[in-house]
Structure 1
Amino acid sequence: MTNRLGHKQTAVMFILMARAREVSNTELRDTVGFTLDGADRRDLNGRHLVDSTKQKPTNHFVHRLTDKGLAWCQAEMEHDEPAPPRPRSSLAIALYAMLGALEQYRRREGLRIEEIFTADVELTEAEIVERIHSAYRKLARAPRAWVSLTELRSMLVHARRPDVDAVLKELDRSGKAHLVPESNRKVLTEADHAAAIRIGGEDNHLISIEAS
């Protein structure tokens, strides 16, 4: 069980987890309508959940979640509802239900929390290739097995689609991977159509990657 925090502190913790980077008080105010200052900031700093530093030349605080803070967020996601007092908005209860389901998914798929909440950065081609291979290994039931692009893309959410498509086309062109259409078009869902990659005027829905 976690040592529960107040609603404002919990909101800050979840924002820092979701952003996965330093967040300024200005950004916090624009996002949730308040800043992390005073007793709330000193408390989170004292618990070693958040590191806060003053940013020059403005002298405004910026905050970053510590490893201990990330572990706190992960444990907090297992609760059914926020700490007392009970929030007036039912949206907060729904949020905790969603976070609980997300934590169950993380455990079921064997993912680290850092693999779900990562900073929005531009990935290099090599990094995208590695993420594609990593996702494929988790999804494929056997070497060179066919994997749905819908499932593969669901594990590449932090990479830009045009960049992923460019890498997939190059892997296919070089023979390191193979992209093919689903032969039974009747089984395709809207998600499958959306995830397809078009090559040579044909939509491809499945991928097989050669063993490296």
Structure 2
Amino acid sequence: MTCVWFVNSIVYYGLSLNVTNFGLDIYLTQLAFGAVEIPARLGCIFILQRFGRRKTQAVLLVLSGLVCLVITGIPEDQPMATTVLATIGKFAASASFSTSFVYTAELFPTVVRQTGVGLCSMWARVAGILAPLVRLLGQYHGAIPMAIFGSAPVLGGLLCVLLPETRGTELADDTGDGHRPEVCENATSGSQNGQVKGKGGGQDNESTKTTYL
């Protein structure tokens, strides 16, 4: 998942920061890039419920990467085609970013969920820092930045096949190592008292079960 977040962020910011090189009016291109995020974020909700997390994440990443690779082969005198493809790539990258938040939260167990999501988000920020530096490689050859922005998400999308599907499954509470967590003596005595009271009142004090999404 850290790889997924990294490549997703690098293609997202790579396209966003490259609006001046697509050939059309910069304000019109920026407007299209901003407007396309609305259907991407909203449509992601229904796509996740219909196709699941793993397929959605993989297809969106591969699509955003392939678009960037195709852009490298388009002549510079075709700015309209380049902008349209870049807008499609921005759509896929935005929807993939929304998928990453849901998918990552469902993959990590409850005991490490916050740490796991934070770690993945950190690598996304690292990619955001590197994206402008990758653009500087264009001074050696104009196709190098888009080739990197395209190949990275394709690789990340293919790696998604190794991840499990989480749609309709219970959220994991622990890492499954079989070790019970240590508790202090006061907490143990308090829980025992609670169990005694629960037995006397006929209440069930079992741990809360995980929820379905």
Shorter-chain TM-score: what band?
Answer: under 0.3
TM-score (norm 1): 0.23
The structure that has the greater radius of gyration is 2
Q: More helix per residue: 1 or 2? A: 2
Greater strand share, structure number: 1
